A and B are shown apart, each in its own frame.
Chain A
Amino acid sequence: GQQLNQSPQSMFIQEGEDVSMNCTSSSIFNTWLWYKQDPGEGPVLLIALYKAGELTSNGRLTAQFGITRKDSFLNISASIPSDVGIYFCAGHDMDSNYQLIWGAGTKLIIKP
């Protein structure tokens, strides 16, 4: 099935650093969603975006819906140990009957 291009695949960061990850699509999306998944749990919704250009924050997390409607990014400021996990982007594809399409995930690891 169709997938989003999510990058990077993994990130090794120091505690306190800022983190940035992004997703791109070949088709236009009308919704972008960012999820975090901890081991043994289901994905938890972090931020939902509905309009091109929209910039939304949730605590130290900020995400934007790209102007072209084909990309989105997620930033985490001043990372802390509990930020470790896998971050997924997902979006509703207008060309595929609004099917929810998923990225492959970005694994965030904090260096000791």
Chain B
Amino acid sequence: EAGVAQSPRYKIIEKRQSVAFWCNPISGHATLYWYQQILGQGPKLLIQFQNNGVVDDSQLPKDRFSAERLKGVDSTLKIQPAKLEDSAVYLCASSLDRGRTEAFFGQGTRLTVV
């Protein structure tokens, strides 16, 4: 069974530029998560989708971050414009359903904003 796929693996951009990350979850997984992980910290949830609907985006900085999962399968996360403090690893995870099932992670995208 294929795991969670993310691209790109690495991205370096200048501040005020925009960037987009892509995630393809495990087939059949209804729940998709985007996390931000700053060096030395645990993952911080940005947004959680259940199929193509948003379940939780309370920690998403909506003035610059946006995410969509239009067909309930793959998802994109966008930052526009980027700030220096957005430098982090962006992790995508998926689970069969929310609430009681394990979440599986992709390898992440390491973003460096200079």
- Chains A and B are bound partners: yes
Judge whether A102 is part of the interface by a CB distance below 8 angstroms. Answer: yes
Q: Which of A1, A42, A92 contacts B44 (CB 8 A)?
A: A1
* A to B contact number (C-beta, < 8 Å): 60
B99 touches A92 (CB 8 A): yes
A-B pairs with beta carbons under 8 Å apart, 17 shown: A35-B105, A40-B107, A41-B107, A41-B108, A42-B4, A42-B108, A44-B105, A50-B100, A88-B43, A97-B55, A97-B56, A98-B98, A98-B100, A99-B45, A100-B45, A100-B48, A105-B42
**Interface residues in chain A, defined as those with a beta carbon under 8 Å from any beta carbon in chain B:** 1, 3, 30-31, 33, 35, 40-45, 48, 50, 88, 90, 92, 97-100, 102-105
B105 touches A43 (CB 8 A): yes
B41 touches A104 (CB 8 A): yes
Judge whether B106 is part of the interface by a CB distance below 8 angstroms. Answer: yes
A104 touches B107 (CB 8 A): no
Give bound CA distance, A12 to B59, whole Å.
34
Q: Which residues of A lie under 8 Å from residue B99 when comparing CB positions?
A: 30-31, 92, 98
Q: How many residues of B contact A (CB 8 A)?
A: 26
**Interface residues in chain B, defined as those with a beta carbon under 8 Å from any beta carbon in chain A:** 4, 33, 41-45, 48, 55-56, 58-59, 91, 93, 98-108, 110
Known: A98-B99, A104-B42. A42 touches B55 (CB 8 A): no
Q: Which residues of A lie under 8 Å from residue B100 when comparing CB positions?
A: 30-31, 50, 92, 98
B92 closest partner in A (C-beta): A42
- Min Cβ gap A93→B in Å is 10
